[in-house]
Structure 1
Amino acid sequence: MKVNEEETRGELVTPGEVLGKAAELKAGKGAYVSPHNNTVYASLTGFRTLTYPPPDSPDPRPTVDVIGHKAHGAVPESGATVIARVTKVTARMASADIMCVGPKSVREKFTGIIRQQDVRATEIDKVDMHSSFRPGDIVRALVLSLGDARAYHLSTAKNELGVVSAESAAGATMVPISWTEMQCPLTGQIEQRKVAKIGA
């Protein structure tokens, strides 16, 4: 009888997620061991799978692999430019769902956070989050790092970054008229935003 060496596809894991202890698992593709605590972590987004060694293997530990999606959706990484939709704005930060990394669309949910200090490069202490972004805005942002709680830290602190598309209260797509203002073409009403420079 043939031994089933591979376990069925496990749960979806994301970068930095704990897969197990190095004493019990070997890190395979898409996984790595952190030397300071001998813990195996995922290094990419995908499905966790375990491959068991043959019975006569000197190392009885199964190998854990993280197998990426067959249809590889884009994954945000530090330094990448992303397009995201703002979902929530508080006094200190804006949350957004990342939709594209560069020209490629993502196939799963990635959350980004734009903190108050990352909205713009100057007069950081004067940034008002509610006049920079509103829920539903489409923003172009730079990925700074993978932050805590599995949310990516995003920055709009360059001229070409910020809101690229926003809907007015009247439901029309607003037109940028300056780096800090967008206007509704239907009502003429002007709303504050951290606008991305056009033509960048």
Structure 2
Amino acid sequence: MKLCVPGERLCSTEDCIPGTGTYLRHGCIFASLAGYVLRKNEGEELPVISVVRETEAQLLPDVGAIVTCKVTSINPRFAKVHILYVGSTPLKDRFRGTIRREDVRATEKDKVETYKSFRPGDIVLAKVISLGDVQSNYLLTTAENELGVVVAHSEAGAQMVPISWNEMQCPRTHSKEFRKVARVQPEYLQA
């Protein structure tokens, strides 16, 4: 796809029909905004030429979507995260999320200790349960077996290995640390 700037001559009106993001002047079609040039044949005798800002619309986390996020901070009531992916699609913009203590697991919610479930830097699979707005974050949950920590690093810097639903072990030091471990399903594994 070709990039263009406002005022750039795209083609003659003999070659194309003007579409969105374009304007006509003296028998030529010009770009009215910076973006990508698209030519589409829509059953007309001439293709329609238009200019769009993005090749595709920005994907937004939606209620029920599985997201991959990175833990940025924790406190006794919740973990703060940055959402990195919706499904397997990387996000262009940063979205913040919160995993509340009561949304960490489905059972014994009152016994959950946030610092035994997540640590800053952990990569977590979570599900969106509520949309954020300008002031607040997306509310996320890990209260399913398939959701929780998928990548964690030990104090020694090694990537830890899950040994149960709530523990991971360092392959170097063999020390164990508590986490809310995800039982990752094959469709979420990247080759």
Q: Same fold (TM over 0.5)?
A: yes
Is the 2:147–2:184 contact (alpha carbons within 8 Å) kept by the matching residues of 1? no
Q: Does 1:75 align with 2:60?
A: yes
Count residues with an aligned counterpart.
134
Sequence identity of aligned pairs in percent?
A: 52
Q: Map of 1:1-200 to 2, 5 A cutoff?
A: 69-147=54-132, 149-199=135-185
The TM-score, its normalising length taken from structure 2, stands at 0.67
Using the alignment, how far apart are the partners of 1:97 and 1:147 within structure 2?
Answer: 13
Using the alignment, how far apart are the partners of 2:162 and 2:138 within structure 1?
Answer: 27
SS of match in other structure, 2:61: coil
Any idea what the Cα deviations from partners look like across 1:31-50, whole Å, max 9, x if unmatched? Answer: xxxxxxxxxxxxxxxxxxxx
* Runs of at least 5 residues in structure 1 that lack an aligned partner in the other structure: 1-66
RMSD of aligned Cα (Å): 1.6
Larger Cα Rg: Structure 1 or Structure 2?
Answer: 2
Using the alignment, how far apart are the partners of 1:159 and 1:73 within structure 2?
Answer: 29
The TM-score, its normalising length taken from structure 1, stands at 0.64
SS of match in other structure, 2:164: coil
Using the alignment, how far apart are the partners of 1:70 and 1:144 within structure 2?
Answer: 29
Is the 1:73–1:105 contact (alpha carbons within 8 Å) kept by the matching residues of 2? no
User: Which letter maps to 1:145?
Assistant: S
* Runs of at least 5 residues in structure 2 that lack an aligned partner in the other structure: 1-51, 187-191
Using the alignment, how far apart are the partners of 2:163 and 2:185 within structure 1?
Answer: 13
Using the alignment, how far apart are the partners of 2:105 and 2:132 within structure 1?
Answer: 19
